[in-house]
Amino acid sequence: MSLVYLNGDFVALEEARISPLDRGFTFGDGVYEVIPVYNRRVFRLKEHLERLENSLKLIYMRNPLPVEEWKRILDRLVTENAGDDQSIYLQVTRGVSPRDHVFNDEMQATVFIMTKPLEQPDNSAGSAAIVRPDIRWQWCHIKAITLLPSVLLRHEASLSGAREAILVNQGLVTEGAASNVFICESGKVLTPPKSRQLLPGITRDLVIELLQQNGIECSEYPVPETQLRSADEIWITSSTQEIVPITVLDGEMVGSGQPGPLWQHAARIYRDFKQEFSQHRSSDV
Ligand code: PDD
């Protein structure tokens, strides 16, 4: 049985009920987070809760819960659900209302949280990606649940036997449909700077921090599509996938067609950081 949280109650997933008039259902009016858990410790919790706060602010919602309450709820779910390593999905919508686009401050947010066991990804074989126009909206810095463009892009990727669609807006790489993008060129690592066109990924920020701490040059710089196509290495990052080397782009080999040396280095640094975190005794929750 999987225990979930819904609006103040802890219930079995099968028993959780949400009204069809929830604005998440009728309008996709809400935001979410996906947070990894290692050895029952929530990874980068502060950063995820800060991003949630920011997403809520940008859609004119108050955070329905204080930080201590978020921590208490996540702590219980992570303790009671299966798996030392888990992935938390949390979603906040503007709640139930008659179907009308216009909202007001009186609406009661819906808060839903579930977790599932998380398998450690093995990215060593490399993956394929396709390049597509960024057909999403202009506020991609909000982690909105309204994901139809991303769903269609990832469907297209999967029809091509690829793992991800890397998106290009006005000639510049923004991000993947569900990941951030890094490229390597002449021993240096580049990733597009934060803007409204991309999600400020928690993994992205951590990868930049860890590379810089370990003496690998990494800068935030606009990446034209041409530079993506000629890169020595391409990586995509996300909380559950970590750092994935893209070895085939639109059917063409990236660099040698194998995960490159900078990826090997970055993956080792990331793994060590995670290991250190998960062995730490005191709870982060
Ligand atoms: N997606 N960009 C987009 C559009 C994303 O959807 C995601 C993550 C990321 C990476 O962010 P982070 O490093 O904080 O996970 C970037 C999640 C995991 C999802 O939708 O399932």
Q: How far is CA 237 from CA 29, 191, 242, 245, in A?
A: 26, 11, 5, 9
Q: What is the pLDDT of residue 87?
A: 98
Q: Between these two residues, 285 and 79, which has the higher pLDDT value? A: 79
Q: What is the pLDDT of residue 280?
A: 83
Write out the E strands in the chain. 3-6, 9-12, 30-38, 41-42, 86-93, 110-117, 127-133, 164-169, 172-176, 180-185, 188-191, 218-220, 233-238, 242-249, 252-253
- Which CATH number is 3-117's, of 3.30.470.10, 1.10.3720.10, 3.30.465.10, 3.40.640.10? 3.30.470.10
Quote the CA–CA distance of 185 and 2 in Å, as a whole number: 45
Quote the CA–CA distance of 80 and 68 in Å, as a whole number: 18
Q: What is the pLDDT of residue 41?
A: 97
Q: What is the pLDDT of residue 281?
A: 52
List the chain domain ranges: 3-117, 127-275
pLDDT higher than 50, residue 282:
no
Q: What is the pLDDT of residue 1?
A: 87
Q: What is the pLDDT of residue 263?
A: 98
Residue 47 CA, ligand 1 centroid: distance in Å: 13
CATH homologous superfamily of 127-275: D-amino Acid Aminotransferase, subunit A, domain 2 (3.20.10.10)
Q: What is the pLDDT of residue 285?
A: 44
pLDDT, tens only, 198-236: 999 999 999 999 999 999 999 999 999 999 999 999 999
Q: Which of 199, 208, 268, 201 is nearest to 35 (CA)?
A: 201
Q: What is the pLDDT of residue 4?
A: 99
* % the chain with pLDDT above 90: 97
Residue 35 CA, ligand 1 centroid: distance in Å: 10
Q: Which of 180, 197, 203 is the pocket-test mutation for ligand 1 (most atoms within 8 Å of CB)?
A: 180
Residue 106 CA, ligand 1 centroid: distance in Å: 30
Nearest atom, ligand 1, residue 241 CA: 18
